């Protein structure tokens, strides 16, 4: 039961835009012992992430008393590192964190991406008039500027915050009078092919010529929302798309185009609404957020006699966001109105490895073995490699250390000085001394200078069969 509940709760791990092909994955560790089981696996889920590794350590204190330490390491050279998971239901309580309404903290931490909204035409006699544009994020934030084209630049006579892209063909564009409900709208009119053999022109909401976008509109990276606008004119098809610069708005080489849809332009003003963005997990309601404290907990009532507790151990700069999302996104009709909490943990350091640390336990009411969990301080030079955690249990204190790079390390822990060269160690104290200890891929495990009698975990022979189904990329 424990295993199933655990996998249910961590089955969703997504950054924006996870690859659907060629992500592969492999195990680093799959070691089992009497009280401790260790799994570590990597996935190439994201081109940008050179480290994408999940380590899970299962610690069994008794047949019915086990818990999991989950360490998710990520490193990317741009963007934020997000860990996303959803709870089993909405019957839960959080403690240890002061959540504020809204995604304010979240958007402050978001990477802002420059973009423009393109209305492109290719017909030799096409003309389009566009007015009352809205570019709205899922949380209601409006991104369009001068959406009614009412503000005109005195020098150029063009509507401010509007521009045009010129690929091929001859064109005129600017402010047209009247607008839909006022004196102005934006327009673009093809004058012919000119010296070109094709026509490729676009009217753009946002101050960009479609090649570079240093003054273009801004949206949070990976944002999702809706675009709406009114259009009239004469064009068999006007293709609406966003052009965005994920990292360098001064470079035409950094452009990304995303088609939102194609609409006709006819004599009558017509209203259209299109969706943009591809990260449904961020499309949450009742969003609350906060900087992650050292530890905060969420406890779910899974059944009458079963609770599920998650202890989240924050890292420096980590932000937590909780919101309601759809439980069954593919089957809305059969699950109408049912939402479940999504927990997003975001970390966006300038450099280094992010390590999301969580302890999970499924337990009967009043019978949890874990009382608290917290990160241990790591010397700066080991911070990218080593994660150490202390778990206070009803039986004593457990210490877990996990490292990426081979090294002999010494750490201060609540049990004393631990010295080890192993990839993973667990030392479990029932009071006076270690009641059991486990070591993976290493020889040395000392506590306060004395050799610890530890079980050396062996690779599970089942490992080879599971190479292709890696848990981290589920």
What are the residues binding Ca ion (CB under 5 A)?
131, 148, 179, 182, 184-185
For tokens 């955690």, the residue is: 389
User: Which of 307, 314, 310, 308 has its CA nearest to residue 289?
Assistant: 314
CB of 471 to Ca ion, least distance (A): 53
Query: Residue 177 or 237: which CB sits closer to Ca ion?
Result: 177
DSSP character string of 180-240:
SSSS-EEEEEEEE-TTSSS-EEEEEESS--SS--TTSEEEETT--EEEEEEEEEEEEEEEE
Q: How far is the CB of 6 from Ca ion (least distance, A)?
A: 55
Q: Please report how close the Cβ of residue 356 comes to Ca ion at its closest, in angstroms.
A: 47
* CB closer to Ca ion out of 148 and 402: 148
Non-local (6+) Cβ contacts of 366 within 8 A are: none
Q: Is the dihedral of CA 83, 440, 436, 374 positive or negative?
A: negative
Tell me how far, at minimum, the Cβ of 263 lies from Ca ion, in Å.
18
Within 13 Å, how many C-alpha atoms sit on residue 25's CB side? 26
Minimum CB separation of residue 230 from Ca ion in Å reads 9
- The CA-based diameter of the chain, rounded to the nearest angstrom, is 88
Name the minimum Å distance from CB 246 to Ca ion: 31
Nearest CB to Ca ion, comparing residues 148 and 315? 148
Question: Cα separations (Å) of 273 from 200, 227, 230, 268, 270?
Answer: 23, 6, 9, 16, 10
Least distance to Ca ion, CB of residue 278, Å: 31
Task: Decide whether 269 or 300 has the Cβ nearer to Ca ion.
Answer: 269
Residue 162 or 326: the one with the smaller Cβ distance to Ca ion is: 162
C-beta closer to Ca ion: residue 147 or 220: 147
400 in Cβ contact with 425 (< 8 Å): yes
Beta carbon nearer to Ca ion, 184 or 224: 184
Give alpha helix (H) positions in 63-140. Answer: 104-109
């Amino acid at each position: 039961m424990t295993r199933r509940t655990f996998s249910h709760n961590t089955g969703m791990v997504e950054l924006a835009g996870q690859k659907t092909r060629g992500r592969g994955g492999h195990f680093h560790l799959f070691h089992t012992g009497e009280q401790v089981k260790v799994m570590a696996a990597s996935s190439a889920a994201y081109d940008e992430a050179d480290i994408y590794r999940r380590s899970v350590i299962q610690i069994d204190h008794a047949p019915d008393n086990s818990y999991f330490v989950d360490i998710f390491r990520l490193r990317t050279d741009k963007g934020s590192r997000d860990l996303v998971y959803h709870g089993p239901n909405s019957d839960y309580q959080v403690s240890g964190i002061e959540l504020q309404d809204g995604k304010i903290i979240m958007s402050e931490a978001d990477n802002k991406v420059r973009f423009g909204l393109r209305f492109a035409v290719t017909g030799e006699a096409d003309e389009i008039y566009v007015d009352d544009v809205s570019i709205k994020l899922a949380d209601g934030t409006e991104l369009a500027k001068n959406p009614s084209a009412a503000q005109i630049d005195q020098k150029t006579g063009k509507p401010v915050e509007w521009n045009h892209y010129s690929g091929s063909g001859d064109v005129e564009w600017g402010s047209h009078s009247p607008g839909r409900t006022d004196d102005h709208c934006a327009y673009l009119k093809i004058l012919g092919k000119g010296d070109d053999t094709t026509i490729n022109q676009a009217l753009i909401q946002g101050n960009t010529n479609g090649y570079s976008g240093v003054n273009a509109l801004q949206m949070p990276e990976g944002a999702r929302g809706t675009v709406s606008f009114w259009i009239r004119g004469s064009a068999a098809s006007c293709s609406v798309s966003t052009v965005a610069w994920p990292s360098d708005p001064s470079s035409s080489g950094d452009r990304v185009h995303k088609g939102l849809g194609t609409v006709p332009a006819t004599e009558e003003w017509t209203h259209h609404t299109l969706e943009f963005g591809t990260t449904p997990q961020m499309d949450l309601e009742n969003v609350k957020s906060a900087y992650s404290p050292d530890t905060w907990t969420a406890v779910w009532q899974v059944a009458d006699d079963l609770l599920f507790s998650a202890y989240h151990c924050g890292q420096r700069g980590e932000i937590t966001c909780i919101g309601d999302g759809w439980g069954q996104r593919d089957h809305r009709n059969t699950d109408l109105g049912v939402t479940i909490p999504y927990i997003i943990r975001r970390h966006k350091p300038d450099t280094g490895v992010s390590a999301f640390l969580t302890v999970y336990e499924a337990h009967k009411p009043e019978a949890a073995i874990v009382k608290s969990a917290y990160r241990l301080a790591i010397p700066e030079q080991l911070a990218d490699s080593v994660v150490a955690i202390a778990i206070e249990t009803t039986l004593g204190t457990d210490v877990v250390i996990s490292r990426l790079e081979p090294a002999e390390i010494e750490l201060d822990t609540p049990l004393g000085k631990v010295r080890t060269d192993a990839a993973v160690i667990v030392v479990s104290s029932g009071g006076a001394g270690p009641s059991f200890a486990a070591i993976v891929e290493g020889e040395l495990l000392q506590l306060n200078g004395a050799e610890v009698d530890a079980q050396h975990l062996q690779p599970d022979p089942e490992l080879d069969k599971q190479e292709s189904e890696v848990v981290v990329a589920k």
